[in-house]
Structure 1
Amino acid sequence: MASIDEILADEQKLAEVTKAVFDQVDADQSGQIDRRELKLAMAQVAREANIEAPSDQSVDQALKVLDADGSGTIDVNEFKVLIRQLLEALR
């Protein structure tokens, strides 16, 4: 498996990682992550990290930050910003 640095240095690898994670979160396979799907994903991460589930306000804030075009949903390109930030934080 590629290292975090290799993924961050290669846009194709970053796109592949982003798409794989995006597809897991996009439960209805609509090509968009809606508020409900985002909340479920955030709650799952919280459970796995053994921390408190996100509040509705936290979910709304995350959606607002990630939804660059104001559509009310997150597309794969908007999601890639989050994946890049997460990978950079894990370095």
Structure 2
Amino acid sequence: MKIARTIGTVTLARMHPSLKGASLRCVEELATIDDVDKPIYGGETIVAWDYCGSGIGDRVALAEGPEAAAPKLPTVVPVDAAIVAVLDDID
């Protein structure tokens, strides 16, 4: 699980049928915990399925790999990253 910030929305012209109704967000990974209050993290940018309805600028928990598709089981969806929580506060 990684911490990231939502920085944009992704719109698809063509998509796999299993992605119908998906909200895809562009997120920027947090490089270190010391960067949590910086306006720009400078981390890697990833497209993630948004299960939580996050908004632009929200800090989120990011799951990657097989865990990202787990909420859709037994249906298999072609995702590699998913936003699984919106973080209100980080200590």
* TM surpasses 0.5: no
Structure 1-normalised TM-score? 0.28
In terms of fraction of residues, the more strand-rich structure is 2
In terms of fraction of residues, the more helix-rich structure is 1
Structure 2-normalised TM-score? 0.28
